[in-house]
Amino acid sequence: MTTWEPVRRVRAFEAVLDRIESRIAAGTLKAGDRLPGERQLAEALGVSRASVREALRVLEARGVLVSQTGSGPDAGAILAADPDTALSDVLRLHVGLDSLSLDEVIGARLMIERWSAAEAARAAGPEALSRMRAALTAMDDDGLTPAEFVEHDTAFHVAVTEAAGNRLIAHMMRALRASVRHYAVRAVTDLGPWPAAAQGLRADHEAIYRAIAEGDPEAAATAAESHLRRVYPTTPPPPPS
């Protein structure tokens, strides 16, 4: 005999969330669209303004909405186009709470970096290579502090990931880098005297760039892994493919 589970009682704000998420899934709401004002939305859905307000707070916390004050045509929150901030905030909090270890984050980055470098070697065009080269040129400044160097380092790795052609992977890379920025600065600082350490890091990036520019996926993936293992020597090996 089939066992029936009790129907879960849904709170009003959860029903509002469901309606908004359903429209996003159906494609009738897209990034950049503006939701109706709080009062209009409450009337249209037959719920209280408090329920609408709570649902919008949840979506804003998830990085799906950007709050907007005002009335008339300027009323209503806007659907966000960029998930980077929400992803990096979640990762940063979980690393800080030790729900995720730094090794796990770096291990995930290693898999993404290897794949991205190999795909970039297959797909990168002149514009993508130009963005990588611009980041490399910025790294050549001997006066950079470790923190400033990491900013250009991040720009290079993001450019590589974008060149691979998968937007989700690119968002994940930006989120991963933003979530562990503090650890990245500390890691490069721990490599030894800074001028010499920076020189070694530049050589790593040049090797990645050269392999991508020459269209050699295997060499690009190997160079990306070698670079990460220099900075994070305790990173466990990636799982077998």
Dihedral angle computed from the Cα positions of residues 113, 94, 56 and 170, in that order, rounded to the nearest 10 degrees: 0
**Residue keyed to tokens 């880098």:** 177
Contact criterion met (CB below 8 Å) for 56 and 34: no
Measured in whole angstroms, the distance separating CA 111 from the mean position of its chain's CA atoms is: 15
CATH number of 12-79: 1.10.10.10
Give the position of tokens 């990306």: 224
Residue 19 burial (CB < 10 Å; 0-12/13-18/19+)?
A: middle
Q: What is the C-alpha to C-alpha distance for residues 76 and 73, in angstroms, rounded to an integer?
A: 8
Q: 84-231: what fold?
A: Four Helix Bundle (Hemerythrin (Met), subunit A) (1.20.120)
What residues have CB less than 8 Å from 195, skipping those under 6 apart? 142
Residue ranges per structural domain of the chain: 12-79, 84-231
- 12-79 and 84-231: same fold? no
- For the stretch 89-108, pLDDT in tens is 777 766 666 777 888 888 88
Model pLDDT, residue 64: 80
Write down the residue that tokens 């919008």 correspond to. 56
Q: What is the pLDDT of residues 2-22, one digit of tens each?
A: 676 665 667 888 888 889 888
Percent of the chain clearing pLDDT 90 (strictly above): 46
